[in-house]
Amino acid sequence: MDFQVVVLAGGTSKELVPLVSKEVPKALLPVANRPVLSYVVELLEQSNLKDIIVVVEGEEAALLVGGWISGAYVDRLHVEVAAVPEDVGTADALRAIAHHLTANDILVVSGDLICDIPPGAVAAAHRRHDAAVTAMLCSAPVSGQPDSGSSGAKDKARKPGRFNTIGLDSTKQFLLHITAGTEVEKDIRVQKSILCAAGQMEIRADLMDAHLYAFNRAVLQEVLDQKQTFQSIKLDVLPYLVRTQLSSELLFSGVRAEDHGNDTTTQNDKVMLSQLLSNTSMPSFYEFYASGSNGSTPLPRKTHKCCAYIASKGKYCARVNSIQSFCDINRDGHDPLARTHPFIEMSSICQVIGDASYLSGYSFSTHNNIIHPSAALGSKTTVGPQCMLGEGSQMGDKCSVKRSVIGRHCRIGSNVKVVNSVVMNHVTVGDGCSIQGSVLCSNVQLQDRVVLKDCQVGAGFVVTTGSEYKGDILARKEKQ
């Protein structure tokens, strides 16, 4: 179908420290005991897209990701892992691999997307309109955790998160306006010309840019070449394309395709042909605009189309980093959401288990939870619904696990409470611990009677006996 897929897998995102580290780049962060990237890759695989370019920040991370991919998909997929320098924007990342792009259209997917919307639908909408860019929009997740009683008053006070302000035309097919989440508090500036041409605009705040874009390759490369300052797709390239859609400076437009017409056809015939084609079909506002109000404009104005594909409500779509793409260099560090992102991240992990279990490929037991057969439970230990217990994990007596994910080969002592938390692989938890709303990375050791609330514990950290933490980030000092 003449599409190429680029997965932007990020590197070691600063925002997700301490969950990610040099050893665990973001792409390999386990979500429901599977790397984040696997969700995207398998979504693409389902759509019969087997040639994938994965762009990873940092050489080491690229090696890790490449190693994992070749292990997991070697026989099925043809995945190319490209490394770009760390801390470059998404646009820069695309610039770096531009020479690999040859197909007519490019599908750009963020590596932290977990959804079940077929990418083909976006591609089809893109093709149907001959668009310059098509963005997938999904309904924004309900902010915070719906039942996060334990996650603190800070969360409760937070207003529902707005991710994007999006203007759509009356058919809901074209994107007239888009601002990223960080800009929503300011006034909305809408271009008059676009508003005039479209007649009406629907402003939506309940939609989220899902970071799945279809670009016309020529357009994308032209924009990347011309605007060297553009660093982020979401913050620079997409708004630029939307802004200039009616005053396109791009060389690309549909015109080129028609130029190869036979010389014997006279100009008159061509006009008639285009008239026949256009008059019988339902014109979008682009055509109205391009031909002037009543076709009087001598030269058709150049436009390019920016489409939106709005995922239906029933589809599941979440991003693990729900603030912004990790490598958007323009991200706003003052974002009120930034501090609390691990909770969001965690909630999305839990949601994946709860809402979209079929995505993770596990089947639920009768108790609505997933316990690996090799996991061993002590007596009087209960594992609540929407929980997950990985392979080879052991739990002592009288433990209770609620709304949590426990990874592989964990050893958990007796009398431990795990609520609303994520425990990754090879974690050792001593007796009498209480873990609430926290994330324990791989190889963490909790000694006896540790109380953690709303903490994130970096990989390999050891929490000493009897310590209590609340809302802290516990991580080993990076050895430089």
Partner 1 sequence: MDSRRTSRVIDPKIRKVGFFTVGPAPDRTQSGPAAASSPPASNNSLSPVMIPPPRHASDNLSRAVAAQLGRRFLPPAADHVTVGSYNPPDSILGSSPVSTRIGDGEFSEDSANWIRRTGSGKLGSSLPSGGFDLSAAKADLMARKGLGVSRDEKDGEVQLQSSSKSVKEKPTKAERRALQEAQRAAKAAAKGSNADGTKPVAVSGEATSLHEQMGKTVKHPTPKKEGPLATSSEKKGGDRLTEKDRKKDVPPPRMQFDDKSRVEKAKRRAVVKQTEARNRVELFRHLPQYERGNQLPDLESKFFQLDPMHPAVYKVGLRYIAGDIVGGNARCISMLQAFQEAIKDCTTPPEKAFARDLTAKINAFVSFLIECRPLSISMGNAIRFLKARIAKLSLSLSESEAKASLGSDIDRFINEKIILADKVIVGHAVTKIREGDVLLTYGSSALVEMILLHAHENGKKFRVVVVDSRPKLEGQALLRRLVGKGLTCTYTHINAVSYIMHEVTRVLLGAASVLSNGTVYSRVGTACVAMVAHAFHVPVLVIQMPYLSYDVTPSDYVSMIITDYGMVTPAAGNRSPLR
- Residue numbers at the binding site for partner 1 (CB under 8 A): 1-3, 47-49, 104, 118-121, 123-125, 127-130, 261-262, 264-265, 269, 272-273, 275-277, 279-283, 293-295, 312
In the complex, what is the shortest distance from the CB of residue 363 to partner 1, in angstroms, rounded to a whole number? 24
Which alpha helices (DSSP H) does 283-441 contain, by range? 285-290, 341-354, 357-360
CB-based burial of residue 209 (10 Å sphere; 0-12 exposed, 13-18 middle, 19+ buried)?
buried
In the complex, what is the shortest distance from the CB of residue 139 to partner 1, in angstroms, rounded to a whole number? 16
CB nearer partner 1, residue 49 or residue 320: 49
In the complex, what is the shortest distance from the CB of residue 119 to partner 1, in angstroms, rounded to a whole number? 7
CB nearer partner 1, residue 95 or residue 126: 126
CB nearer partner 1, residue 306 or residue 337: 306
In the complex, what is the shortest distance from the CB of residue 308 to partner 1, in angstroms, rounded to a whole number? 14
The residue among 258, 218, 257 whose CA lies nearest residue 241 is 218
Q: Are 13 and 112 in contact (CB under 8 A)?
A: no
Residue-wise burial string across 325-344, b where 16 or more C-beta atoms lie within 10 A, e elsewhere: bbbbbebbeebebeebbbbb
In the complex, what is the shortest distance from the CB of residue 166 to partner 1, in angstroms, rounded to a whole number? 20
CB nearer partner 1, residue 293 or residue 366: 293
In the complex, what is the shortest distance from the CB of residue 295 to partner 1, in angstroms, rounded to a whole number? 7
CB-based burial of residue 296 (10 Å sphere; 0-12 exposed, 13-18 middle, 19+ buried)?
exposed
CB nearer partner 1, residue 229 or residue 312: 312
CB nearer partner 1, residue 122 or residue 346: 122
CB-based burial of residue 249 (10 Å sphere; 0-12 exposed, 13-18 middle, 19+ buried)?
exposed
Question: What span, in angstroms and rounded, lies between the C-alpha atoms of 45 and 78?
Answer: 10
CB nearer partner 1, residue 291 or residue 428: 291
In the complex, what is the shortest distance from the CB of residue 51 to partner 1, in angstroms, rounded to a whole number? 11
In the complex, what is the shortest distance from the CB of residue 424 to partner 1, in angstroms, rounded to a whole number? 34
CB nearer partner 1, residue 83 or residue 108: 108
Q: Are 390 and 409 in contact (CB under 8 A)?
A: yes
What's the order of all strands across the beta sheet hosting 462-463? 394-395, 411-412, 428-429, 445-446, 462-463
Based on its alpha-carbon atoms, the radius of gyration of the chain, rounded to whole angstroms, reads: 25
